[in-house]
Amino acid sequence: MSVLAASGCSGIQSALEPAGAEAEAVARLFWVMVVAGGLIWCAVIGTLVYATRQRRRVYGEHAAGLLILWGGALFPALLLALLLGYALWLMPNVRPWIAQAEPAGLRIEVEGEQFWWRVRYHPPNGPPVDAANEIRLPVGERVEFALTSSDVIHSFWIPVLGGKMDMIPGRTNRLTLQAAKAGTYRGPCTEFCGTSHALMAFSVVVMEPDNFRAWLADQAGTSQSARAPGHDLFIAHGCAACHVVKGTEARGAVGPDLSHVGSRETLGAGILPVSTETIASFIRDPDVIKPGSQMPAFRMLPEADIAAIAAYLEGLE
């Protein structure tokens, strides 16, 4: 839980510390609105203070009418129209430099689940690659996200890269993002989706394009330790009914793909660091760590078996 607490609203998840063009537009809009709103507030309060300090006197009907017309109708309407125009101009489909940009090469399908993320990479040439609970992106390249959900409405948001987009069952929403800075960030689910909504997040790793391609090729393959001792216990205790480990007989598609779970930044969709201890505790008590999780608890297994399975999974890099 400490990862969650420590990451709260720090830079890795701040829309005001953008690492991409979309988020920069959002941050700029925020600051323009703050400054414009602040100036208007100062003008209104200034006028109020000025009025209370004036000696009372009678104004002509004409002067009062002019004040209401300009101060009460024309000025606010003009200013709001200007700010609205600016906000509309920042919309992704309107901005000329976005409309003219190259189409995205990489497409990533993300599906909201209770309470985790199913991720499938579609590189421009090559077969799709499945993963879960973590999104890796090449820096400087436009990436198209195809967002949907299998159960209830979730919402996908990488604050440092751009605006949020709902994930709606039976519908695919599209969002294009381009990261400008390599680094490790965080994305939360931003639509209430059940008891563990607040425990549904993912890590975002923005890599140099060459590193990204090497990583993706690696993800497509089998993990080196896929034949560690815990593997047979993983199969024997039924874990393979719900989880995939590429290159083994584990082909269950209900839960997250665990093929390279040991190399991910987090465990349990953005909430725990990856270690044999955290993996063991998740196997034992998924319903305690993530209330409402659909994974059954395996606390009846012998501790030695849990430890062996955890060591096996931690080794899947």
Kindly list the residues in this chain that would bind ligand CUA in the complex (CB under 6 A): 112, 115, 154, 189, 191-193, 197, 200
In the complex, minimum distance from the CB of residue 75 to ligand CUA, in angstroms, rounded to a whole number: 42
Nearest 5°: the CA angle 150, 151, 153 is 100
The three-class DSSP label of residue 167 is strand
Q: Whole-angstrom distance between the N-terminal and C-terminal Cα of the chain?
A: 23
Residue 291 CB coordination number (10 Å): 12
| 8 Å CB contact between 15 and 34 | no
In the complex, minimum distance from the CB of residue 115 to ligand CUA, in angstroms, rounded to a whole number: 6
In the complex, minimum distance from the CB of residue 194 to ligand CUA, in angstroms, rounded to a whole number: 7
Count the alpha carbons within 13 Å of 210 in the hemisphere toward its beta carbon: 0
Which is closer to ligand CUA, CB of 123 or CB of 194?
194
Which is closer to ligand CUA, CB of 25 or CB of 189?
189
In the complex, minimum distance from the CB of residue 112 to ligand CUA, in angstroms, rounded to a whole number: 5
Which is closer to ligand CUA, CB of 197 or CB of 243?
197
- How far apart CA 264 and CA 269 sit, in angstroms, is 10
| Burial class, 137, CB count within 10 angstroms (exposed 0-12 / middle 13-18 / buried 19+) | buried
In the complex, minimum distance from the CB of residue 211 to ligand CUA, in angstroms, rounded to a whole number: 29
| 8 Å CB contact between 136 and 207 | yes
Which is closer to ligand CUA, CB of 113 or CB of 314?
113
In the complex, minimum distance from the CB of residue 199 to ligand CUA, in angstroms, rounded to a whole number: 9
Q: In terms of DSSP bridges, do strands 134-138 and 173-178 run parallel, antiparallel, or are they unpaired?
A: unpaired
Which is closer to ligand CUA, CB of 197 or CB of 264?
197
In the complex, minimum distance from the CB of residue 255 to ligand CUA, in angstroms, rounded to a whole number: 15
The three-class DSSP label of residue 289 is helix
How far is C-alpha 279 from the chain's CA centre?
A: 23
Which is closer to ligand CUA, CB of 148 or CB of 223?
148
Q: What is the DSSP letter of 296?
A: P
Which is closer to ligand CUA, CB of 156 or CB of 185?
156
